[in-house]
Structure 1
C-alpha cells in the first residue's frame, strides 16, 4: 500500500480536513466524525487503493483499512491537523450527538482503543504463563514466575491509571489530576483496606471495595472532574486556580468514590458479572451460541465496544471471562470460511485477497479483511461463518470454558482458555467452528465471480468511450493532486462543453449519489469506472445536477446518465474538469491510446489494458 496516496485520497473523499470534527483509529479502521455527510464522496473513498470497505455506525464514518491502519492514520496526521499518535483519543465535545447508544459506544471506543494492544499483549503473556503453570512447565514458587507474573499482570492491575489518561483526553480533563485520583484508588494502603470492617471517613461509614482492574469508577469520576474543573477555573482567581483546582478535585472526588461511586459501581459490576455467570451456568450453551453467532455482526456495526465493559467487569469480579470464550469460535469460524473461499475460488484477485485474510483471522483474530473483503460480499461464506460460530460457541460454553485474561480471540490467544473448563469440549467446539464453515464453503459453495461471468472472457481489454462532449486532457492536468497523482486510478480527464453525461460502455450503475457529482459503473468483465464531474463539486450538495439513473440499473453505451448546469457550477466557483478513471488497477493497471483534444460522446477515449495482456507482452 502507498500510505501517503491512500491517506490523501481518503481525506479528500471525506470532504477534506474542514469537514472532519475528529479522527481516531482502532485495530483496523479509520473512524471519522463528519460535519456534513453530503460532502463525503463515498464512491471515491471506496475506490481508493488500500480501502477494504466503509461503514457507518456509532455516529462515525468508518473506513476499513486492515492491519496497516496506523500507517495511514499517521500519514493523515502529516498532511492535516487530524490524527497523530497524540490525538488518537477523541474529545467528548467532538463526539456524535446521536442517540445514547451511539454516544456510549463512541465513548467506550475512544477510551479503550489506545489501551487495546497493551491490554491484549499483556493478557496474552498472562495466558501463556497460566498455561505453563497448568501443564507444570514452570514452578509457581520460583522468583522467575513472580517476575513473569508481574510483567503480565501489572497493566490490568493498574488499569484505572491507564483509563484515567484516555478518559481525561476524552472528557477534556487534566490528565495528571486524573492520574492522582486513579493513583489513590490503587494505592497499596487503600488496597489493603478491602474487606476490613468498620472503616470510616470523618465518622462516615465507608464500604471499601477493590479498585484494582476496575473500569466504571474512574470513568465516572473523570467525567465529574471535567465539569468540576471548568467550574473552578471560571470561579477561582487566576493566581491560585492552577494548583487549587487539582487540590479541590482530589480532596472532593476521591472520598466521593470511596463513599458513593465505588460501592454503587461494585453493585453494578457484580450484578452484571452475576447475570453473565447465571446465563453461562444455567444455560451455558445458549449464551455461547448467542455470542458465537452474533459477535461478528456486532463488529460490523461497531457495537462490540459496548461489550468490552462487561468483559472487564466479569474479569474484575470473578477473575474469569466466560463471555470471551465463545468469541474464539466466532472469529475462527469466519477465518475458516475465508480459507474455504481461498481453496475453492478460481478468481485470482479473490484468491490473493483470501490468503492473507485467512492468516490474519486465524493468527491475530483480525477478521475485518475477511469479512469486508471476502465473506460479506459473497454472502454465503459469512452465513457459514455464523453457523460455525453458533455451533462452536455453544459447545465451548457447554464445557464451562472461560478465559483467565483479557485477550483478543485468536489462535495465539488460545492459552487463555486452558485453565478453566473442559478442555475436550473446548477443542471440540473449536474444531466444529473451523471445520463446519470451511466444508460448507468448499462443498456447498458460493457464487464465484468467475462463474458469474463465465460467458465473458475475464480480464479482456476494454474500450472506454467518451461520456462527454468537450476536450480531453491528460489526467495530470486535473487541478487536484489526488486525481492528478493517480491515487484513485489511471484514466483521462475531459473539460465538458455540454452538461450531459452518457454511459461509456454497457454496465451496471454501481454508485449514483444523490449529490449527482459522481457515478460509478461496473462492466460485465469486472472493470470499474468512476466519472467525477468537476473538482470538489460534492460541496454543492446536488445543486445544478440531475441524475437520470439509479444504483443497480443496467445501462447501455450512449444512455444518458446525468445532466448538469456548467455555467451555474462555474459561477459557483468550481472547476468542471471531469476525471474518467479505472478504479481497479489490479485488473487494468494501465491505459493505452488516450485521446487528447476535442472529443464527442461515443468517441473512443482510451483502451484499458488487462493484466493478462500485459503479462503476455
Structure 2
C-alpha cells in the first residue's frame, strides 16, 4: 500500500480537512467525525487504494483499512492538522470532536476515542501478563523469584496506572489541560492514597471518606476530566490573566480530587461492582448462554462499531475480580471468522479471492484482527460470515460452560490463548476452541458459498476485439469529452457516446469485473483479455446511485447485447451533469491501438471501434 496515496484519497473523499471535526483510529479503522455528511463522496472513499470497507456507526464515518491503519493515519497527519497535537497547560478552545447522533452513539464514540490510543499498549502488556501466568501455571517460572517480580511489574504496570493514561486521552477528547488531568490522576494512584484502601475511619476535614481502590480504574478519571474541562473554561473566563494559569490547576486539584474521594469514587465503585457482579452471576448461573451470546454477536458488534462499549465493562470486571469472563468467549468469535475465511481460501477457484483470504486468515488467527476477513471476504460472500457466527455461538458456549475467564485485558487471538489458562476447565476450553475453528471451516468447505467466477484463461496473443456500441446515441471523439482525464487518454483509449436512451448494453461477451453500486460505471473483461470501462456521464458518481439501476453483479458472465444498467438521461441532465459516456480500453499494453472508430449516430450493437492487440499490431 502507498500510504500517502491512500491518505490523500480518503481525506479528499470525506470532503477534505475542513469537513472533519475529529479523527482517531482503532486497530483497523479510521474514525472520522464529519462536519457535513453531504460533502462525503462515499464511492470515492470506498474506491481509495487499500480501503476494505466503510461503515457509519457510533456517530462516526469509519473507514476500514486493516492492519496498516496506523501508517495511513500517520500519513493523514503529515498532510493535514488532523490526528495530531495535544493540549498543554490550559483550555484549547478547540472545536469539540464530539460525534453526532443519539446518546448511545456519542458514548461509544467517546469510549473509542479515549481508549484507542491505549489499545496496543494494553493488549501488548496484557499478552505479556498472560504468558507470565502460563509460565507459572506450568511450573516454568517460580513466582517467588525476583525474575518473576520484575516481569510481573513490566506486564502489570500499565494497567495498574491506567488512570494516568486515561487522563491524557480523556483530556484530549474533552479539550482539557492534559497536565492538570495528570496531576488529578496521580493523586488517585499515589502510594499513600492506595494504602488507605480498606482503612476504617478515614475523614477529610471531618467528613467521612469511604476510600476505594483507584488502581486500574476507568470511570472516576473520565468523569473527573469531563468536569475539569467545564470548570477550566469557567475559571479561565473569571480569573485575572496574571494568575489564572497556576491558580486554575491548583483549584481544580484541590476541589476535584476530594470530590472524587467523597462522592464520585464510591459511586463509580458501586457501578463497577454491580456490572462485574452481574456479569459474574450470568457466567456462573447460565455460563453457556452468556458465552453463546457473546461468541455469536461479537463480530456483529464489531461491524456496527458497538464493541467499544464493552471496554470499560471489561476493565471494571478485571479491576473488581482480577478476571474477565466477557473476553473468553470472544476467542471463539474471532477464531471462527478466521477459520471461515480459511475455508474460503481452500475452496475458492478465484485467484483474487484467494489472495484476499490468505492474509486475512493469518491476521485473524495470529493477531485477532478480523476486519479484513469480515469486510473483504466473509460478509460479501454472506454464508462464510454466518458459518463464523455459528462457530462463535457453539465455541463460546462451550468455553464459558467451562468457567473460563481471561486473567488480563487482551485482544482475543491465537497468540493470546495463554490468558485463558488460569481458570476453569481447560478440557472444555480446548474443545470450545476446536469447535469454533472446525465447524465454520468445514461448513465453508463442504456446504460452500457462491464462488465468484474464476478469472478467465490468459488471453490469446494477437486477437483483436470488436467493441460494439453499448448505447443508442451519437459517437464522438474522446478528445471532445469535457474531462481532462478521459480527453487526454490518461485512463485509456476509445470513443465517447452522447446517449439518447438510458439503457447500457454489453459491448461484447465478457465477465463483469466491476459493478459500482452507484451505477455510474461498469468494468468488463473480454475472454481474449481486453478490459473495458464504460463511464456513464461526467462526475455522476456524486449522484450516489440516484437515477441509476444496475442490472448485473460483479463476477457475472454477460453476452453482447445484455442489459447492464438503466439510467434516466433527462433526470441526470436536469441535475446539472453531462451524460457523455466514454467507452475505453484500460489495458493499453495489450491493446495499444484503437482503429475503425465510429462517429455520428450509432445504435447499440453497431461496431464502435476495433481494439488491436499488441502482437497483431506488430505483425502489421
Counterpart residue number, 2:69: 69
Q: How many angstroms does 1:21 deviate by?
A: 2.3
Q: Deviations over 1:373-415 (max 9, x none)?
A: 1111111111111111111111111111100000000001011
Does 1:210 pair with 2:216? no
Equivalent-residue separation in structure 2 for 1:8 and 1:407 (angstroms): 33
Q: How many angstroms does 1:465 deviate by?
A: 5.2
Output the TM-score relative to the length of structure 2: 0.85
Counterpart residue number, 1:167: 170
- Match runs of 1:55-454 below 5 Å: 55-84=55-84, 93-450=96-453
Q: Deviations over 1:523-567 (max 9, x none)?
A: 5989895737445983xx78xx97253676999469652426899
The count of corresponding residues between Structure 1 and Structure 2 is 587
SS of corresponding position for 2:214: coil
Q: How many angstroms does 1:41 deviate by?
A: 2.3
* Contact persistence 1:498–1:566 (CA under 8 A): no
* Contact persistence 1:292–1:390 (CA under 8 A): yes
Equivalent-residue separation in structure 1 for 2:430 and 2:315 (angstroms): 25
Does 1:563 pair with 2:569? yes
* Contact persistence 2:520–2:541 (CA under 8 A): no
Counterpart residue number, 1:531: 535
SS of corresponding position for 2:100: coil
Counterpart residue number, 2:506: 505
Q: Deviations over 1:22-66 (max 9, x none)?
A: 222111111222233333222222223311111111122211111
* Contact persistence 2:548–2:565 (CA under 8 A): no
SS of corresponding position for 2:424: coil
Would the alpha carbon gap of residues 185 and 502 (structure 1) be closer, same or farther in structure 2, given more than 3 Å must change? Answer: same
Q: Deviations over 1:417-461 (max 9, x none)?
A: 1111111111111011111111111111111113xx8xx956769
Counterpart residue number, 1:32: 32
Output the TM-score relative to the length of structure 1: 0.85
* Contact persistence 2:598–2:608 (CA under 8 A): no
Q: How many angstroms does 1:9 deviate by?
A: 2.1
SS of corresponding position for 1:125: helix
Would the alpha carbon gap of residues 238 and 338 (structure 1) be closer, same or farther in structure 2, given more than 3 Å must change? Answer: same
Q: Deviations over 1:300-347 (max 9, x none)?
A: 000000011110000000000011000000000111111111111111
Equivalent-residue separation in structure 2 for 1:302 and 1:440 (angstroms): 27
Counterpart residue number, 1:519: 520
Equivalent-residue separation in structure 1 for 2:610 and 2:255 (angstroms): 72
* Contact persistence 1:173–1:229 (CA under 8 A): yes
Counterpart residue number, 2:90: none
Q: Deviations over 1:74-130 (max 9, x none)?
A: 22223333234869xx98822222101100000000000000000000000000001
Q: How many angstroms does 1:478 deviate by?
A: 5.2
Would the alpha carbon gap of residues 446 and 170 (structure 1) be closer, same or farther in structure 2, given more than 3 Å must change? Answer: same
Would the alpha carbon gap of residues 581 and 199 (structure 1) be closer, same or farther in structure 2, given more than 3 Å must change? Answer: farther
Unaligned runs of 5+ in 2: 88-92
Equivalent-residue separation in structure 1 for 2:489 and 2:132 (angstroms): 51
* Contact persistence 2:17–2:82 (CA under 8 A): yes
* Contact persistence 1:334–1:385 (CA under 8 A): yes
Would the alpha carbon gap of residues 131 and 164 (structure 1) be closer, same or farther in structure 2, given more than 3 Å must change? Answer: same
- Match runs of 1:15-54 below 5 Å: 15-54=15-54
Q: Deviations over 1:496-525 (max 9, x none)?
A: 877976526279894454xxxx71436598
SS of corresponding position for 1:326: helix
Would the alpha carbon gap of residues 472 and 268 (structure 1) be closer, same or farther in structure 2, given more than 3 Å must change? Answer: farther
Equivalent-residue separation in structure 2 for 1:599 and 1:84 (angstroms): 56
Would the alpha carbon gap of residues 470 and 83 (structure 1) be closer, same or farther in structure 2, given more than 3 Å must change? Answer: farther
Larger radius of gyration: 2
* Contact persistence 1:91–1:171 (CA under 8 A): no
Equivalent-residue separation in structure 1 for 2:364 and 2:480 (angstroms): 39
Q: How many angstroms does 1:492 deviate by?
A: 5.6
Equivalent-residue separation in structure 1 for 2:13 and 2:217 (angstroms): 40
* Contact persistence 1:334–1:370 (CA under 8 A): yes
* Contact persistence 1:495–1:576 (CA under 8 A): no
Deviating more after overlay: 108-117 vs 600-609: 600-609
* Contact persistence 1:475–1:493 (CA under 8 A): no
SS of corresponding position for 2:55: strand
Equivalent-residue separation in structure 2 for 1:290 and 1:23 (angstroms): 32
Q: How many angstroms does 1:608 deviate by?
A: 12
* Contact persistence 1:466–1:605 (CA under 8 A): no
Unaligned runs of 5+ in 1: none
